[in-house]
Structure 1
Amino acid sequence: MPVLDTATTSQLKAYLGNLRRPVELVASLNDSPKSADMRSLVEEIAVLSDKITARFDGEDARRPSFAIRADEGRAQAVFAGLPLGHEFTSLILALLHVGGHPPKEDAELLDQVRGLEGPLHFETFFSLTCQNCPDVVQALNIMAALNPNITHVAIDGALFQDEVERRKIMAVPTIFLNGEQFGQGRMDLAQIVAKLDTGAVARAAEKIAAKEPFDVLVVGGGPAGAAAAIYAARKGIRTGVVAERFGGQVLDTMGIENFISVSHTEGPKLAAQLEQHVKDYSVDVMNLQTAVGLKAANGDGLATVELESGASVKARTVILSTGARWRQMGVPGEDQYRNKGVAYCPHCDGPLYKGKRVAVIGGGNSGVEAAIDLAGIVSHVTLVEFDSQLRADAVLQTKLRSLPNVTIITSALSTEVTGDGEKVTGLVYRDRNTEEVHTVALEGIFVQIGLVPNTEWLKGSIGLSNRGEIEVDARGETSLPGVFAAGDATTVPYKQIIIAMGEGSKAALSAFDYLIRH
């Protein structure tokens, strides 16, 4: 039975028309059903282009796996496992980039990749349901395709469970460099190169410090920041964006089904579209930049945003759209066992807990949805909710209660994460009705208890609510003249993508109105 359907095969064949040099697929297989699927996949790809040949005599110890090679092996990407699901795009891009088609990345960044000295051998553990993993896999595949000193193998953690256990991997993506852990979580090409090229941060800071003041400076690259940048740029005024990562919290969102006029999309796809839309205009995007300070305008009429790199950016108006991050439980053991059993993304890390016992903290929609998804993978789910009842939509609660391997505990205060020094072994909670303390033996804890605004760096410089949200009026104005704010970091109720976009647009229009009046 074919691995790829007719529509996918047709799409892939069209992409492979962009190959610029011959590519060889070298598979290492055994007698497993997954190896049979991989043989089928490799054969299906090979017949789609006269520039592709296939062999099945590979000697890789990980089976099934296959390498995509060109230029006598000096350019290659390796997949241990079937790159389907979220990683199918990674497969397409690996074929193209190894085959000589240029990556859609900044030319200066690609030159940095070519100049890296090796040997650098990367291994990335991913899961097919992880929306954060493709960025890492694709970035490292680009590096391996461009630089013969760099190799990369992408490993499906669910398929190579023994290796995952041996190397104590409890979160994806996890990246190893020359056998040592290099990083965890989403990283794009620029972030990886900056971590390898230690002088990159200083060079970027020097360039930023030399920039002329902006008319509008947007801090944050999520939906609110992207909308603000687009609306400001369309007014023909000098617009800049500083962001830690473009897309913000959207990058960690799986399915999006309430973005009006788009019945379904996924966070990473929407984030990429936001970034491309911003780049359609003359917006100066400064990525990998963390804001650490804000100074109000003085006699020159310019506000100053200070960056962690040491650079400062001046602007006549500023729009703060720094978004939010996952809220933590704040109990002993949580930090110690983060990515060692304590996780925040059930879609990403769930497959690593196949057959194990886990807890989900939080009884809202996010928590109940996570518990439902995990119940299909793990042996047992314990959902722990502080309130006396779940707060999720009724349809989700009905589905959850129908699952035989789920236990629901309400009126429970989580007090400690326990472990053996290397991984989580349990969760301690106190029954708020009886004050009795209980311990649940388990291997994983997924925290789903809401968001915290990214505003700590603004304390003392701007008006914040008691929850740390930036106080704004109906026009998005803050307590500082010329400084506006939008999105999940503000006091505007209902933290939704579409609301953040509207608030970002409003803040840009308010900033423009401020400029023409002053």
Structure 2
Amino acid sequence: MLAANIRTQLEAYLQKLEQPIELAASLDDGAKSAELRELLREIASLSPKITLREDGADARKPSFTVGAAGQAARVAFAGIPMGHEFTSLVLALLQAGGYPPKVDAATIEQIRNLKGELRFETFISLSCHNCPDVVQALNLMAVLNPGVTSTMIDGALFQGEVESRKIMAVPTVFVNGEAFGQGRMTLEEILAKVDTGAAAREAEKIGAKEAFDVLVVGGGPAGAAAAIYAARKGIRTGVVAERFGGQVLDTMGIENLISIPQTDGPKLARALEAHVAEYEVDVMNLQRAEALEPAGDDGLARVKLAGGATLKARTVILATGARWREMNVPGEREYRGAGVAYCPHCDGPLFKGKRVAVIGGGNSGVEAAIDLAGVVAHVTLLEFDGKLRADAVLQAKLKSLPNVSVIVNAQTTEVTGDGGKMSGLVFKDRVSGEEKQLELEGVFVQIGLLPNTDWLKGTVALSPRGEIEVDARGQTSVPGVFAAGDATTTPYKQIVIAMGEGAKASLSAFDHLIRSSAPAAQPEKLAA
């Protein structure tokens, strides 16, 4: 079942097992059970430390558990964890076998100190690039804490359960049978939700920090580049981010980052984080900035965080990026995650055989319609303008698909539903003025991005679109405050441009420090 190269790599990984592990499969006579049986037998054949039982009693079939031999297994996979989830399986095998996780000691201790019983169930799709992060985080918690269990459930394989639990987006996580979260979550984010005292401890810790020479707000490509360039100057550098990686985490294929022919968002985000970690940068993740105070008589600007802490800095670089633009019509927020979606790669498989719409006729919208057409029964693409704006090659591909309809001059006015999940949308024909309705099970919104700058209104100059106004050096309207990336007026929102602008803003901040003669670092370092 496994390709020869994957089999060879897995066999090498399994040599790292430090203790015997047991796989227990729950199977029936179906084709998927036969497929899972073949996979598990092949894995067991690669290491003498792995045993396989096929007498599991789980009601979900096919499924299997992974655990240390002689102990109750706490990690389970309902489905066949291939695609993006194959890495989750490999890590579960290694960690159950005693291989140490690549997590800092403080986080491991925090997991082990969690009290009570936590039974996590994570509904995923094998094409979702955000799902593995959640599955792997919960699996690790289950391996480290006897009170935690983690079960991955392939929504495409267990459609009945998806329908009964009204799951319309992945990843969707339940704990002890109750809704816990939806969308990408890091291990830090999950722990912050289950460890109620963590936020207060972290706020106290952050508030006690000394002033930074450069404080970067935002952890995407622009923020990472700014932090690296500042740290290389030997000055005190900090990064505060709501989620390190930013919008990149929600991007699937990346093929225009020069020198890297192909990668994906989560992989690039991990590379950015690893590169920043090579330097003495104080990274404060899961922290949302709420207010910026320009420098006062003490020469220090202040950034107030939602958790209650305040950070001080001699210069600040704003790199807060952007978020998905919403339609802002009745029903959109009510049915988000219940039919309204923003990631066709992640959530598309949940709409197999159903009717969906895509809002937006640019490249993102047309690409989404093309991808979804291979999964769903029918796609209706609605464009506000009188024609599609996507590249000609994408439009040609779209027109070749038999299960796609295109409606132009369409202004979406409402998402409708039964209170539990959406059932359609209403749009107005902008030429005739006639109001029309489509019966649908899902809608994917692909109409661009909005800058994350609401918290800066009244502090720095913003454009009519809400972007931070910057000059050629990345300087904002406030002395000592610079900005870079998708949150600014710099045209063309591209990863490579954000990286360059982040580096530029950092160099400008360094120049400002020299000229203002207010460094916190040693003079000889500033001269390097």
TM-score range, shorter chain: over 0.9
Q: Residue 260 of structure 1 corresponds to which residue in structure 2?
A: 258
Q: Please, which runs of 5 or more residues in structure 1 have no aligned partner?
A: none
2:123 to 122, 125, 128: 125
Q: 1:489 & 1:107 partners in 2: Cα distance?
A: 35
Q: Residue 223 of structure 1 corresponds to which residue in structure 2?
A: 221
Once the two structures are superposed, what CA deviation does each residue of 1:150-171 show, in whole Å capped at 9, x if it has no partner? 0010000001001100110000
Q: 1:39 & 1:420 partners in 2: Cα distance?
A: 41
SS of 2:200's equivalent in the other structure is helix
Q: 2:11 & 2:475 partners in 1: Cα distance?
A: 51
1:397 to 392, 395, 398: 395
Q: Residue 410 of structure 2 corresponds to which residue in structure 1?
A: 412
Q: Residue 136 of structure 2 corresponds to which residue in structure 1?
A: 138
Once the two structures are superposed, what CA deviation does each residue of 1:250-304 show, in whole Å capped at 9, x if it has no partner? 0000010111111110100000010011011110000110000000001111100
Q: 1:73 & 1:269 partners in 2: Cα distance?
A: 34
Contact 1:75/1:146 (CA < 8 Å) preserved in 2?
Answer: no
Q: Residue 180 of structure 2 corresponds to which residue in structure 1?
A: 182
SS of 2:152's equivalent in the other structure is strand
Q: Does 1:47 align with 2:79?
A: no
Q: Residue 504 of structure 1 corresponds to which residue in structure 2?
A: 502
SS of 1:339's equivalent in the other structure is coil
Change (3 A) 1:250 1:489: same
Identity %: 71
Distance apart, 1:460 and its partner CA? 0.5
Alignment of 1:378-389 (within 5 A): 378-389=376-387
Q: Residue 308 of structure 1 corresponds to which residue in structure 2?
A: 306
Alignment of 1:98-497 (within 5 A): 98-497=96-495
Distance apart, 1:23 and its partner CA? 0.7
Q: 1:285 & 1:121 partners in 2: Cα distance?
A: 31
State the TM-score, normalizing by the size of structure 2: 0.97
Distance apart, 1:103 and its partner CA? 1.3
Q: 1:359 & 1:73 partners in 2: Cα distance?
A: 48
Q: 1:337 & 1:492 partners in 2: Cα distance?
A: 34
Q: 2:143 & 2:123 partners in 1: Cα distance?
A: 19
Q: 2:325 & 2:378 partners in 1: Cα distance?
A: 24
State the TM-score, normalizing by the size of structure 1: 0.99
Q: Does 1:26 align with 2:18?
A: no
Q: 2:6 & 2:69 partners in 1: Cα distance?
A: 27
Contact 2:65/2:73 (CA < 8 Å) preserved in 1?
Answer: no
Contact 1:75/1:148 (CA < 8 Å) preserved in 2?
Answer: no
Contact 1:75/1:144 (CA < 8 Å) preserved in 2?
Answer: no
2:91 to 90, 93, 99: 93
What do you get for the CA RMSD once the two structures are aligned? 0.8
Q: 2:199 & 2:486 partners in 1: Cα distance?
A: 28
Contact 2:74/2:148 (CA < 8 Å) preserved in 1?
Answer: no
Q: Please, which runs of 5 or more residues in structure 2 have no aligned partner?
A: 517-528
Once the two structures are superposed, what CA deviation does each residue of 1:131-154 show, in whole Å capped at 9, x if it has no partner? 111110000000000011000100
Q: 1:48 & 1:277 partners in 2: Cα distance?
A: 34
SS of 2:216's equivalent in the other structure is strand
1:61 to 56, 59, 62: 59
SS of 2:477's equivalent in the other structure is coil
Q: 2:113 & 2:515 partners in 1: Cα distance?
A: 49
Q: 2:33 & 2:435 partners in 1: Cα distance?
A: 49
**Amino acid aligned to 1:179:** G
Aligned residues: 516
Contact 1:125/1:154 (CA < 8 Å) preserved in 2?
Answer: yes
